[in-house]
Structures are given as C-alpha cells and as structure tokens.
C-alpha cells in the first residue's frame, strides 16, 4: 500500500477524508501525513505532496471544507483565480457564505457574510467564485490599505475590469463600515502603478499632503528619442522618481543601461531620486522629506512642500 490513495483521488487531485475513512484504515492516513507523502490542504482535505494545486483546486478545497452548501470562493482566493495581484502574507483561503450562517475562522480558512448580489458570482469549472469587480470590492473593504490599493491599481492597469464596475459593486452595499472603507480605498487607486512599491510611494506622498508626481512619465531628447520612462515625475521641476525592487537592476546589463539613462537625464537638466522598499515603507519620513526638499529647491522656493 505504498500509494494507497491513488484510486481515491478526486479528478483534480484532492483527497477527501470521508472517502478515505470509508475505504482505508485511519492509521494509514495518519502515517502518510506524518511521513509527508500527503499534505493537508484544508480541514479534512488532502493532496499528494508532489502535486501542485492550481488556484481553482485550492478554492474547491476551501469550499468543501467549509461544509456550507452555498459557499463561494472570494477575497484572496478569488483574486488568485482571476490573476489579481495580492501579496502572499500568511496565506489563508476565503469563502463568502450566506448571512444566516455563522462559522468561526480557522488558521487556513476565513469566512465572510457580506451579501452576494445578482452578478457577483461566476462559475469556473463548476466552482462558484466572486467576479473580478466583486473580488476587488471585497479586497478594498477587508484588506489592509496598501495591499488593497495595489490590487486595484494592478487590475485596472491590466484591464481586468473597468473602475466603474468596482464602484458599482461597492455602491450596492448601501452603507456600513466595509462600504465606507472600500470607497476610501477605491478613491486612492489610479490604475497606473506597475509595482506595489510605486503604489506605496503614492500613498505615502498623499498622506503627507505633497503634490503627487505624474506616473510612468516619458522623457524625450531633443532628437525625439525616448530617454527614459520614469516611475514618477515632477516635469516642471524636472525631478524624477524611481522605485527599485529587490531584484531590479541587479544584472550588469541593467546597471549599464541605468547609468546611461541617468547620465542622459542629467544632461537634460533632470534630477533623479531613487528609492527602495526600505526607504518608502520603513522610513517614510525620510522619503517624504527627500522628495519635498528636492522639488522645493527646484522650484526655487527653498522650502519643503506639503503641510
């Protein structure tokens, strides 16, 4: 009985506890889990260790484990199915269940009760999932602000859905704390950021009361040649902002291109400020002061901007 579970696997690779116990000695399941040949996906749901489960399979496992007949995959779980960017922070699955159902959250499964309206749910390979607009509205209401705004920014930039569809989904909630928070988060999105760090920088500058830079700004030379496409720019002051992720510009070729581009910008009278995640998120005061001081100096005021 080396791999006794193979005949018991569902078509998508899931192994359901109830079926196992009807066919096999419970000790066999325990031994397979302890030896890591099987892994727990959700309570009562397992998979062979060597099988990678796609988002739809993970969603089905969450729904089955919820034991709620009308449960729908939502929030982060639905986001992964739709390809919406959500940071993987302590991964948990999410389902939305009818309002009259009360379930306690688990370590790996979160329950939500917000009502689902007509058009909020679609079916993917037999699995009910919140639509892209409803999923983004849920994230705006329940995720921490930076993650939620980044999800909106990325989805709008890639054309996963138009902003007004998310606005309509939020409006259908007709008030409540989640509705108010979702509206505030939605108002912070611009659909142009190409990384979560760019979104973080925009939120940090806005919170400090500074004018916001123009995003994805293209700088051309006198000959019409594209010199640079800046993450952020104050064109009148010729101040550019670049936000570098951990792996960005690490290759020698990229370093060479960056140096050439920066030299070209300097020749055109630009100042280029570069920031990392640590600068923007961990040391926001220094980031804000650097931008304020540089833009203020280029304006000739010699004073910091903002409030």
Helix, strand, coil share of the chain (percent; to 5):
45, 20, 40
- Among candidates 80, 67, 19, 72, which has minimal Cα distance to 46? 19
Residue 270 maps to a domain: yes
- Other beta carbons within 10 Å of 274: 14
CATH code: domain of residue 262: 3.40.960.10
- Contact of 157 with 192, CB cutoff 8 Å: yes
Q: Are 275 and 284 in contact (CB under 8 A)?
A: no
Is 193:204 a contact under the CB 8 Å cutoff?
Answer: no
Q: Answer whether residue 271 is part of any domain.
A: yes
Residue 112: beta bridge partners?
A: 96
Tell me the per-residue pLDDT of 81-111, one tens digit each, with 9 for 90 and over. 999 998 776 689 999 999 899 999 999 999 9
Tally of structural domains, the chain: 3
Same domain, 100 and 211: no
Q: What percent of the chain has pLDDT over 70?
A: 92
Confidence (pLDDT) at 248: 47
Separation between Cα atoms, residue 123 and residue 109, nearest integer Å: 20
Classify residue 303: in a domain, yes or no: no
What the block records as the tokens of 195 is 């990384």
Lowest-confidence segment of 197-201, 222-226, 270-274 by average pLDDT: 222-226
**What does the DSSP assignment read for 120-149?**
SEEEETTEEEE-HHHHHHHHHHHS-HHHHH
Closest Cα to residue 287, out of 194, 200, 190? 200
Report whether 110 contacts 75 (CB < 8 A): yes
Q: How many angstroms separate the most distant Cα atoms in the chain?
A: 80
Q: Domain check: are 153 and 222 in the same one?
A: no
The share of the chain scoring above pLDDT 90, in percent, equals 79
Judge if 167 and 285 occupy the same domain.
no
Same domain, 62 and 138: yes
177 shares its domain with 200: no
- For the ranges 41-55, 93-107, 113-127, 250-264, the lowest mean pLDDT is seen at 250-264
Let me know if residue 105 belongs to a domain: yes
The answer to whether residues 94 and 170 belong to one domain is yes
- Whether residues 10 and 103 share a domain: the answer is no
Same structural domain, 287 and 238:
yes
Arithmetic mean of pLDDT, 147-155: 96
In a domain, 306, yes or no: no
305 within a domain of the structure (yes/no): no
Mean pLDDT of 23-48: 94
Residue 255: pLDDT band with limits 50, 70, 90: very low
Q: How far apart are CA 287 and CA 304, in angstroms?
A: 13
- Domain of residue 181, residue span: 55-188
Domain co-membership, 141 together with 60:
yes
Say yes or no: 116 and 158 in one domain.
Answer: yes
Structure tokens at 20: 């196992």
Backbone angles phi, psi at 80, to 5 degrees: -65, -35
Are 95 and 183 part of one and the same domain?
yes
Q: What is the mean pLDDT of the chain?
A: 90
Give the integer Cα–Cα distance in Å for 250 and 228: 18
pLDDT band, residue 66 (cuts 50/70/90): very high
Q: Is residue 304 part of a domain?
A: no
Cα angle: 279, vertex 219, 265; to 5 degrees: 65
Q: What is the pTM of this model?
A: 0.88
User: Could you say which of 146, 163, 188 is where a domain stops?
Assistant: 188
Q: Is residue 265 part of a domain?
A: yes
């Amino acid at each position: 009985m080396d791999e006794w579970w193979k005949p018991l696997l569902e078509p998508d690779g899931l192994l359901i506890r109830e079926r196992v116990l009807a066919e096999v000695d419970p000790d066999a399941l325990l031994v397979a889990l302890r030896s890591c040949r099987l892994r727990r996906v959700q309570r009562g749901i397992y998979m062979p260790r060597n099988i990678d489960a796609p988002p739809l399979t993970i969603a089905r496992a969450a729904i089955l484990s919820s034991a709620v007949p009308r449960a729908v995959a939502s929030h982060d779980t639905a986001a992964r199915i739709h390809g919406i960017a959500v940071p993987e922070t302590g991964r948990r699955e999410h389902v939305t269940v009818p309002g009259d159902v009360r379930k306690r959250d688990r370590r790996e499964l979160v329950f939500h009760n917000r009502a689902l309206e007509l058009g909020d749910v679609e079916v993917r390979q037999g699995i009910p999932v919140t639509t892209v607009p409803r999923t983004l509205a849920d994230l705006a209401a329940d995720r921490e602000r930076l993650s939620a705004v980044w999800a909106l920014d990325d989805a709008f930039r890639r054309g996963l859905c138009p902003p007004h569809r998310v606005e309509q989904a939020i409006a259908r909630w007709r008030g409540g704390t989640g509705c108010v928070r979702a509206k505030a988060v939605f108002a912070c999105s611009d659909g142009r950021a190409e990384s979560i760090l760019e979104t973080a920088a925009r939120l940090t500058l806005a919170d400090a009361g500074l004018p916001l830079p123009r995003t994805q700004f293209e700088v051309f030379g006198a000959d019409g040649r594209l010199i640079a496409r800046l993450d952020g720019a104050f064109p009148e002051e010729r101040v550019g902002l670049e936000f570098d992720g951990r792996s960005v510009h690490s290759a020698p070729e990229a370093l060479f291109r960056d140096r050439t581009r920066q030299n070209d910008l300097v020749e055109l009278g630009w100042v280029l400020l570069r920031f990392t995640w640590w600068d923007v998120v961990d040391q926001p005061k220094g980031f804000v002061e650097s931008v304020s001081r540089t833009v203020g100096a280029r304006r000739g005021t010699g004073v910091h901007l903002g409030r």
